[in-house]
Amino acid sequence: MSYLLRKLGFIHGRLWRQDETYRVSLLVGPAPAIGVLLAVALWSGITNVKALLAQPPQWATKSVAHEWSSSAENPKPVQPKAALPQTGASGKLVGYEQGWNVSAHPVEIDRTMEVDVKPSSLDAFTMSGPLIDLDQIIAHGPKQGLFVAIGTGFLVVRRPGIYALSARLDRPGGTSVNCLTRLGFGPNRVMSHVTLDVGSASMTYDDAGWFDLQPGLYNMAWAFGCWHDNTMAGPAHMTILLRRPGEDALLPIKPEDFVR
């Protein structure tokens, strides 16, 4: 069993480094997780798939055991995806652009409000600002059916220290909606929430992830969408919040803090 767990850990690390689809799967529901599990079984030469599915590794479970468990007193060290690149004459990082790569994914929502985000992408576009605007997502996404947007990029860390990440949901008013907000960092999720009956609201999720970071680029991803009945419904915004070393509070992420 320990050999199998070590092998799964090696495969997980390699998939995370080389496969963007695998990284996105951290923000989707149980169906893609099973698909990832089957791929692992084929790759590692395991023939007894039923036995493996009966006892899946922690990072593939529906109960989201792969969420970070951290605190200000116990920050988690995370290794950067890449070294911090050079800064060009314009002040931008060479080889990168500010913003997010975004894809729209269909969802299924059961009676318990479990949201299953499907791995298939319906549309792809980019977003530039730190404010994740649902109206912009709806305008770029498919015109029928429920979906959420998944955005991926890199957090830019320029100095070592303890950082914290969380998110805020804002809705200025209108018909009550249900919203999905998820945030991923490095190999794991930071948080995942389905917030029900959101009217006029501004709420910061208190389950921040705390990390001990060195200079470099770190994988970061988010998922966001709101709906009423079977229709996407705005306006609403998701804001990623960042607490840097020496700061006393979580503040909205700045444009220079993330690239794609």
Domain with 236 in it: what CATH number?
Answer: 2.60.120.260
State the Cα torsion 43-47-49-55 to the nearest 10°. Answer: -90
Same domain, yes or no: 185 and 84: yes
Same domain, yes or no: 92 and 130: yes
Could you read off the pLDDT of 44-89 as tens digits, one per residue? 443 333 333 333 333 333 444 477 888 889 999 999 999 999 988 7
Beta-bridge mates of residue 13: none
Helices (H), the chain: 2-18, 20-24, 30-43, 49-54, 134-140
Low-confidence ranges of the chain (pLDDT < 50): 1-7, 16, 31, 33-65
Is 92 inside a domain boundary?
yes
pTM: 0.76
* Residue 218: exposure state from Cβ atoms within 10 A (0-12, 13-18, ≥19): buried
- Per-residue pLDDT at 11: 56
Amino acid occupying residue 36: V
Domain of residue 18, residue span = 2-60
